[in-house]
Structure 1
Amino acid sequence: MNYTENYKGIKIDVQAPQVDLPEGLQAQIRKSIDKISRFTHDINAVDLYFNISGTGKTAERILGMRVGIPGPDVYSEEKGKDRWNTMLRSVTDKNIRQLQKDK
């Protein structure tokens, strides 16, 4: 599932090759962007990369988030067996910490 949308002037690009994302994740992505927007108002784009590495019991979910802002972008990644929503909250919080550190 891949899609692109414009949310409040922010280009959202979701890339999830060979991954079926759950219903409601799109709303969770928008909530994450709203949360990040409280720490910087200069977001141009948000790219999300959903992937699964391995198969069966060794399968590991990988979620990366890049927040495009003027200057260097911030990027964080989470790997594990957690649900996508949990991983999305984690990468959102990691990116917020990077934005706060850069201030």
Structure 2
Amino acid sequence: MNYTENYRGIKIDVQAPQVDVPTGLQEQIRKSIDKLLRFTPVINAVDIYLNVSGQGKTAERILGMRVGIPGPDVFSEEKAKDRWNTMLRSVVDKNVRQLQKGK
């Protein structure tokens, strides 16, 4: 499932070719953007990639997030068997650390 949304003037592009994105995750993405806005004044776009690698018990979830800001974008990725919301929080925290460093 892929979808694009405009939230507070920020283009959100979610690409999830093998995953149905739950409504709760969509709301969590918006809350994550609110958190990122505390650390940077301008976000132009947020691209989120959701994928599942493998099958059954060996399946691994992959979540990547690119935050488009003036200057170099920040990107982080998480691979785990956790829930999507847990992985999203981890990725957002990684991006916050990059924003704080000024990358």
TM above 0.5: yes
How far does the alpha carbon of each residue in 1:24-67 deviate from its partner, in whole angstroms, 9 at most, with x for none?
11110000000000000110000000000011111000000000
Segments of structure 2 that go 5 or more residues without pairing to the other structure are none
Distance in 2, matches of 1:38 and 1:11, equals: 17
TM-score where L is the length of structure 1: 0.97
Segments of structure 1 that go 5 or more residues without pairing to the other structure are none
Counterpart secondary structure, 2:23: coil
After superposition, residues 58-73 of structure 1 pair within 5 angstroms as 58-73=58-73
How far does the alpha carbon of each residue in 1:46-90 deviate from its partner, in whole angstroms, 9 at most, with x for none?
000000001111100000000000111000000000000000000
Letter in 2 for 1:86: T
Instruction: Name 2:39's counterpart in structure 1.
Output: 39
Distance in 2, matches of 1:22 and 1:8, equals: 21
Please say if 1:93 is aligned against 2:93.
yes
Residue 21 of structure 1 deviates from its aligned partner by: 2.2
**Alignment: residue pair count:** 103
4+ runs deviating over 4 angstroms: none
Please say if 1:14 is aligned against 2:14.
yes
